[in-house]
Structure 1
Amino acid sequence: MDKVRGCRPNGLERHRHRLPVHLYRLRLGWLLGGRFLLLAHVARRSGRVLRTVVEVVEHEPVSGAYLVCSGFGERSDWYRNLRVRPRASVQVGLRLLRVEADFPEPGEGAELMARYAERHPRTAGAPAGCAAGAPVPAEEYRRLGRCLPFVRLVPRSGPYAAVPLPR
């Protein structure tokens, strides 16, 4: 897969991206509401539990699943780790859940991105090749959604000894 949103952050930009994790560590994750979640996942090589904050694209109230997207494509460490070890845990606001990762097909990703862009046009931004400030057709977001990897985090019951709940 091509680089979707440029290279991974480093230096000061990386610290800025890690600020929400520190909010959760200080028990202030509820300030981020339901738009973000803290994902605790197991590293594919070291086996360490790692934590990252990702934006929620959609929440399915019936199943309780949260859909998230890897804005940096399939090369994001958290995405690659979930591919190898799909069991994880999340914290959304004050709720703690044990989840299992499921990976939707690109066609479903296209529809997810179109709905997300309709609800959050500023956050979705304009896909490459679209003029800034001009209305963006939904089909452009669908095209982008086919390229981005989405993950459905489905709540599961039972012990997941490998992944402690985030704290």
Structure 2
Amino acid sequence: MPHRQIVPLPSRPPTGYRRLAGRLRILAFRVGLGRLLGRRLLLHHIGRSSGLDRRAVLDVVECDPEAGTWVVASWSGPGADWYRNLRARPKTVIEVGSRHYAVTAYFLTSAERAEGGRPSAGGAACLVQLDTDGGHCRR
């Protein structure tokens, strides 16, 4: 009998009340209430297959607005759609509060996570550092 390799399935999009909760958070950013959500940002990204504009609200693990860097966590691992979309197109735009920033995504390795003093980041499967490309972006 040949040896079979188990390939994990991609994460399924949320449905029901979980989808509604995600949509409400995105709506809060769109009407200018993003700062009420605490340490979160709105990621604008392009679908890797469809080419459509997508949005996701992400938890910020670490931030330094003066230096223009934010570290965000993928709690569902590298199978999250926004994570895979950033892998395909790392240059994107984020919204923090009511400001937009043009950023480039850098995917932190386990060595970089440990070096930065954030080996677990609360159990996050993957960490992405977003660095600004030169200031504010007008939207």
TM-score w.r.t. length of structure 1: 0.67
Distance 1:23 1:152, change over 3 A: same
Give the match for residue 128 of structure 2.
151
Per mean C-alpha deviation after superposition, the further-off stretch among 7-16 and 67-76 is 7-16
Distance (Å, rounded) in 2 between the aligned partners of 1:60 and 1:2:
35
Q: Give the ranges of 4+ consecutive aligned residues of structure 1 lying more than 6 Å apart after TM superposition.
A: none
Whichever residue aligns with residue 83 of structure 1, its letter is R
Whichever residue aligns with residue 14 of structure 1, its letter is R
User: How much does 1:157 deviate?
Assistant: 2.6
Question: Percent of aligned pairs with the same residue?
Answer: 38
User: How much does 1:26 deviate?
Assistant: 1.6
Distance (Å, rounded) in 2 between the aligned partners of 1:19 and 1:65:
26
Give the match for residue 41 of structure 1.
45
User: How much does 1:82 deviate?
Assistant: 0.2
Structure 2 residues not aligned, in runs of 5+: 1-6
Whichever residue aligns with residue 57 of structure 2, its letter is V
Give the match for residue 101 of structure 1.
105
Whichever residue aligns with residue 154 of structure 1, its letter is D
User: How much does 1:87 deviate?
Assistant: 0.7
Match of 2:33 among 2, 16, 28: 28
Q: What is the number of equivalent residue pairs in this alignment?
A: 129
Are 2:35 and 2:96, in contact at CA under 8 Å, matched by a contact in 1?
A: yes
Q: Deviations over 1:45-64 (max 9, x none)?
A: 11111111001000135532
Are 2:40 and 2:60, in contact at CA under 8 Å, matched by a contact in 1?
A: yes
Distance (Å, rounded) in 1 between the aligned partners of 2:46 and 2:17:
25
Are 1:7 and 1:72, in contact at CA under 8 Å, matched by a contact in 2?
A: no
